[in-house]
Structure 1
């Protein structure tokens, strides 16, 4: 790889944000508009969830399809350059996500993963309500 290309690639990768992303902001605005209040990126919880609802013991992760290996068209697309690196990187992300969900579950937390592609389809309000509302006891 040429030095200019490496420098350009490094600049692009440095610009990739891990928080306050557009998909995350869409979910935050939707949750707030529905009247839910939350904390952001709690570092004392495994995985530092994007939205945390402490009183409900519920956490939401907003994942980019490519970075977290979603099974949609965008997530299944693999770069041609350095494919071995990206396959390993995304595989590690998937394994970490599973470990984090397991750790949160063992601490009594429920989690929801919202994928970037789901935001384009709409219906996020219903998913948030379904996840955040307490379940009705059976009679």
Structure 2
């Protein structure tokens, strides 16, 4: 799907490729159409628990972390890593990412990520992200 990004037109499938080729994230679903806006890109992405464990092991012993604390750590880390994708995006992009689920069936953390041109504003993008979260499993 094509969106208006400042003075450019961007294809959401091109951004999907950038995400998958330059990070450990897998794009599960292009949610751009679900944003119901012509100026917002949105994706449901996931990252493997194994990948997160490798990062956590650098600072902690996994066996010493309670399950609930580990869940919190996964969610926070997934959010942080998703926000780092902003560096790969076009100039003047703003992003919002929210980890929302630990999917035990494929051992991944699911995240919704939305991005738009900075003209849209952080507050509006946050509202769009909340609406997208209501659309996911």
Q: TM exceeds 0.5?
A: no
TM-score by length of 2: 0.28
Q: Which has the higher helix share?
A: 1
